[in-house]
Amino acid sequence: MAELHINPNLRTPKTTQKIMLDVCIALLPALIYSIVIFGVNSLLLTAVSVVTCMAAEGIWQLIRKEQLTVGDLSAAVTGILIAFNMSSTTPVWVVMIADVFAIIVVKQVFGGIGSNVVNPALMGRLFTMLVYPTQMMSYAAPGAVDTVASPTVLSAVKSGSEVAYSVWDMIIGNIPGALGETSVLFLLIGFLYLAYKKEVNVLAAVVYIAVVGAVSGILNGGNFAASFFGGGLFLGGLFMLTDYVFVSKKGKVLYALVAAVITILVRQYSPYPEGVCFGILIANCLAYFVDKIDKKPHVYGIQ
């Protein structure tokens, strides 16, 4: 099979690496804005996270003598997303623990890229959130030099206190939160780039964000700005939900709805102010069943 080429002899120029590189590019505007509002620590954490993820994957594959896939940059994407889900004030070692957990336990143990059941970045984040709640649950305020923790918009809404930020602040990202999640505007710019390249599942993202934003806005008493822009809804919906294959539009919508329902329930009825992480992870786990109820595409010639 090595000597003669196997048909077809034309292949799309698209590769896994190019897709992952595009995702990295798409995340860049939000990263740059994060450096502007949260300081150079954002860049430092992101860089450390990317290097740790890629190293973890490479070392695992070298030890296990598996095909080396570090070059496909999927670990780099996981690294960026993990950092994006952390506060800029998170200790570096916590980020690294999340990285190693995500890559080794969530991704490689299940067979590596494409075989993982749940999103490694979110699982890594959840792991550290449970193990190091103090370090993880305090978020830096924009422009703050010290590490004084500020309540996020969603936790303010949940506790019934007043939200001190304008809608524009929330859209552009001048609010406390994880370093990559606050700027809806810059995340959207990146997402549009991926949509232009046809590398994302636009329908699922739109359904998820619309349903979560609208329903939790109604449930929290009408603060739609906070429910849409106050948390990690856009980062999750635009960049982390859109995994998994559903060929039919119905399948995509169904999957997005599962994630949305869980997100809303967590936001409303759990001690946590934000539920995006749980919503997506649980939908990941249920993807198999969603696929089962999804109507299969018509096979030619089969009635």
Partner 1 sequence: MKNQDYTVFHGGVHPTDGSDKALSKDKPIVEYTPKVVEISMAQTGPSLCELLVKEGDHVDRGQLIGSPANFFAVKLHASVSGTVKEIKKIQNGAKEVPVCVIEADEEQPPVEDLPYRHQLADLSPYTKEQLISLMEEGGITGMGGAGFPTHVKYKPNKPIEYVLINAAECEPYLTCDHRMMLEYSWEFLNGVNAMVKAGGAKKGYICMEDNKQDVADHLNSLLAGCDVPFEVKVLPTKYPQGGERQLILAVTGREIPAGGLPADAGCIVSNVQSAKAMGDMVFAGIPSITRCITVTGLVKDPKNFLVPLGTPIRELVALAGGIAEKNNKVILGGPMTGPCIGSNMTGDDITQCVTKVNGGLLVLENDHIVESPCIRCGGCALACPAGLSPFKIDHAYRAGNLALCEALHATECIACGCCSYTWPAKRELTYYNTKARDAVKAMIRERGKK
Q: Which residues bind partner 1 (CB under 8 A)?
A: 1, 3-12, 14-16, 18-19, 67, 69, 72, 74, 111-115, 243-247, 297-303
Between residues 160 and 297, which has the closer beta carbon with respect to partner 1?
A: 297
Q: CB-based contacts of 39: which residues, under 8 Å, 6+ apart?
A: 88, 145
| Shortest Å, Cβ 201 to partner 1 | 9
Closest to partner 1 by CB, 6 vs 63, is 6
Q: How far is the CB of 101 from partner 1 (least distance, A)?
A: 21
Going by DSSP bridges, is the β-strand pair 149-150/139-140 parallel, antiparallel, or unpaired?
antiparallel
Closest to partner 1 by CB, 117 vs 144, is 117
Question: What gap in Å lies between CA 187 and CA 170, rounded to an integer?
Answer: 12
Residue 223 or 242 with smaller CB distance to partner 1: 242
How far is 9 from 165, CA to CA, in rounded Å?
57
CB of 11 to partner 1, least distance (A): 6
Q: How far is CA 137 from CA 74, 132, 150, 274, in A?
A: 27, 8, 10, 11
Nearer to partner 1, 189 or 291 (CB): 291
Minimum separation from the CB atom of position 196 to partner 1 (A): 16
Minimum CB distance to partner 1, residue 1 (Å): 8
